[in-house]
Amino acid sequence: MGDLKKRQKYTVQPALCLDFDGTIRYSKHGRIINQPEDVALFAGVEEKIWEYKDNGYLVFGITNQGGVAYGFKTEAAWQAELAQTVGLFARDPFDHVAYSLLHPKGRVQPYNHRSLLRKPEVGMLAACEVAMFQQGVVVDWDKSIFVGDRPEDEECARRAGLEFIHADTFFER
């Protein structure tokens, strides 16, 4: 708390909140990413994200990764996928990536429980806010955008009072 008291100036910035699977990345080998080498970015994603980043937006990754809860992959495998995804960008655009490995219908402990982080809940957005505040940045949620491809992305945006844009519209594909 002492560090927060010492900080005198905060910046205020809107955020571009991006789902991962089906929004910015896909599997080269089918519907599900099974290993880091399967990860590919959709065409034009990096350029579009940097348009926002260069105009003062924070960039957040917001992704459910319930495959860990179901035993399709390990937490270490997810971390390798995340590193691979970020590594595909010429420059890392992300200010923070929040994720939920939990799913209430999963079968692997401790990941088989309900989580307030998991979309459509807004916990990952709150985690991003906390991470930025600790760095002296206040997220301007009123000017922020959520981009995704699934109903839970849209519902998360609605619950947080954010503008939602479908990935196909946002990335013009």
Topology classification of domain 2-170: Rossmann fold (3.40.50)
pLDDT given for residue 111 in this prediction: 97
Read off φ and ψ for residue 137, nearest 5 degrees: -120, 130
In this structure, are residues 38 and 29 in contact, taking their beta carbons and an 8 Å threshold?
yes
In this structure, are residues 14 and 55 in contact, taking their beta carbons and an 8 Å threshold?
no
Q: Cα dihedral angle (156, 118, 34, 25), rounded to 10 degrees?
A: 30
Helices in 9-150 by DSSP H: which ranges?
45-53, 67-70, 75-87, 123-133
In this structure, are residues 40 and 88 in contact, taking their beta carbons and an 8 Å threshold?
yes
Read off φ and ψ for residue 163, nearest 5 degrees: -65, 135
**Positions of the chain with pLDDT under 70:** 1-8
In this structure, are residues 65 and 101 in contact, taking their beta carbons and an 8 Å threshold?
yes
pLDDT given for residue 30 in this prediction: 82
pLDDT given for residue 156 in this prediction: 98
In this structure, are residues 50 and 95 in contact, taking their beta carbons and an 8 Å threshold?
no
Domain boundaries, the chain: 2-170
Q: Which residue has the tokens 């010429």?
A: 90
Give, as one character, the DSSP assignment of residue 15: E
Interatomic CA distance for residues 119 and 17, integer angstroms: 12
pLDDT given for residue 4 in this prediction: 55
